[in-house]
Chain A
Amino acid sequence: KAGVTQTPRYLIKTRGQQVTLSCSPISGHRSVSWYQQTPGQGLQFLFEYFSETQRNKGNFPGRFSGRQFSNSRSEMNVSTLELGDSALYLCASSPGFSSEKLFFGSGTQLSVL
């Protein structure tokens, strides 16, 4: 089985721009979660989707949004980028039931200049 695939691998943007990141989960997995990883804050939960519905959301401003498609693929969008948005954005997938392990992709490294 192919693992979780995230594209692009690296991205450089400037302040004020917007960005869209993509995630393809493991085949058969219906839940996709997004996490932000920074040296200062560690790994922080952004949101989780299951069957195109957001089930949980972390404490991030409204500039961070996401969606999930009928084939379980997911995208996250960050609008009006700030320098502090520079981070590794990780996507994880699971079958979709609570209390189960998540499988992570390699992430998208976003740099905001």
Chain B
Amino acid sequence: GESVGLHLPTLSVQEGDNSIINCAYSNSASDYFIWYKQESGKGPQFIIDIRSNMDKRQGQRVTVLLNKTVKHLSLQIAATQPGDSAVYFCAEILDSSYKLIFGSGTRLLVRP
């Protein structure tokens, strides 16, 4: 939305390049992780998810990697397009907590 991310870290990439967005999560007991994309004026949109018993999951042009040892999550976007420009959030869920804990977000800018 309009109020999102005035002081977010920004990743600037050339159209067609690959993008890697990183996230450190907070709780070693979290068992489910999600990446969301938020465009201006919209709510977060689901991109891809991964459970704690996996270390990699692939979708269409996106891959999520999970490293539980260092509590790190990454989102890889292949052949980045102008439509990928947005703020990206990682989120974690503790089993049975019914709530998402969001990271602080990264703004992705795609240069034409």
Contacts and interface: CB of A to CB of B under 8 A. Distances in A.
Contacts, number: 79
Nearest to A31: B98
Q: Is the interface of A mostly helix, strand, loop or mixed?
A: strand
Contact of B105 (A33, A42, A58, A109): A42
A106 B46 contact: no
B69 to A, nearest CB: 21
A64 interface: no
Contacts of B97: 56, 98
Interface in B33-56: 34, 36, 41-46, 49, 51
A107 B93 contact: no
B102 interface: yes
A33 B34 contact: no
Contacts of B45: 104
A15 interface: no
26 contacts: A4-B43, A35-B100, A38-B3, A39-B5, A43-B44, A43-B100, A50-B98, A55-B98, A56-B97, A58-B99, A86-B3, A88-B2, A92-B43, A98-B95, A98-B98, A99-B32, A99-B93, A99-B95, A102-B46, A104-B36, A104-B43, A104-B45, A107-B1, A107-B43, A109-B1, A109-B3
Interface of B: 1-7, 31-32, 34, 36, 41-46, 49, 51, 89, 91, 93, 95-105
